[in-house]
Amino acid sequence: MARTPFTKAPKHPGTRVVVIGLGRFGGSLARELVVHGSEVLAIDSDPRLVQNYSDELTHVAVADTTDIAALEQLGVPDFPHAVVGIGTDLEASILTTSLLVDFKIPRIWAKATSRQHGRILERIGAHHVVLPEFDMGERIAHLVTGRMLDYIEFDEDYAMVRTTAPRAAIGMTLTESGLRQQFDVTVVAIKRRGGEFTYATPDTVVMDGDQLIVSGSIADVESFADLV
C-alpha cells in the first residue's frame, strides 16, 4: 500500500488574544504574541502603562477589568484566548478570571503570585495557571548546582534536561551504554562540540564533550545529571 506523502499545513491567520494586565509579565507576553503574528487586545487600568504599549500592540485600552460591561464593550467575549497577567491585586485577578470563565472563553491562562492564588484560579475555571517566579526559581535552582546546562519541567513528574555526557558512556553507542535501562531515561538528542543538536538513535556513539538532551521523570533525570 502506497504511503500518502505529508503536506504542509496551510498557514492560518494570527491567533486573537486578549491580555489583561500590562505589568512585566503581561507586557512582555503581549509583545511576544505580536511578534509571532497574533492580534492582541491589551487592557490595563493604568493609563500610563497603556500609553507605553500603544505603538507596539494591535489594540490597547484603559478599563476596569472587573466590570463586565467594560469587557463586553471591548469585545472580550469574542476572543478565543485570554491571559490574565494581574499579579499584585488578587481580588482583581480573581474577579477578572471569573468573568472570562463566565464568557466561556475557550482558553484562559492566569498568572498567580502564590500556589494558594493558583489553586483559587484553577477552582474558578482558569484552564492554565502560570507561576512565573516559582517556575523560574525551580529552573534556576537546577542550573545553579552545575549538574545541568538547562532544565524544563513539563508536568508534575516529567522533565527534560540538557547535560554533559557522562564518562561511563563515552565511546559507546546508546544501546551499548545501557543508559535507558540503568536510569530509566531517554536520550532524545545529542550535540557534538561546535555542532548542532541532532536526533539520537540506538546506534549513536557518545563522544567526549557531547551534550545530551535527556527526558524522563524528574527524579530519574536528576539522578542521571548527578553522573556528571
- Walk me through the domains of the chain, giving residue ranges and CATH numbers: 16-130 (3.40.50.720), 148-226 (3.30.70.1450)
pLDDT score at 60? 96
pLDDT digits (tens, 9 = 90+) for 126-142: 999 988 776 666 666 65
Q: DSSP label at 77? A: G
pLDDT score at 8? 46
* Predicted confidence band of residue 203 (pLDDT cuts 50, 70, 90): very high
**Mean of the per-residue pLDDT values for the chain?**
87
CA pair distance 82, 79, nearest whole angstrom: 7
Whether the predicted pLDDT of 215 surpasses 80? yes
Neighbours of 68 (CB within 10 A): 16
Average pLDDT over residues 47-52: 94
More confident position, 119 or 133:
119
Whether the predicted pLDDT of 57 surpasses 80? yes
Share of the chain above pLDDT 70, in %: 86
Average pLDDT over residues 180-195: 90
pLDDT score at 134? 67
Average pLDDT over residues 54-60: 92
Residues 6+ apart with CB under 8 A from 47: 62
More confident position, 148 or 51:
51
pLDDT score at 168? 87
Whether the predicted pLDDT of 80 surpasses 90? yes
CA pair distance 41, 186, nearest whole angstrom: 41
2-6, 22-26, 95-99, 139-143 — which is least confidently predicted? 2-6
Cβ(69)–Cβ(87) under 8 Å? no
Neighbours of 78 (CB within 10 A): 12
Q: Are strands 197-199 and 16-20 parallel, antiparallel or unpaired?
A: unpaired
* Predicted confidence band of residue 187 (pLDDT cuts 50, 70, 90): very high
Identity of the amino acid at 103: F
CA pair distance 45, 70, nearest whole angstrom: 11
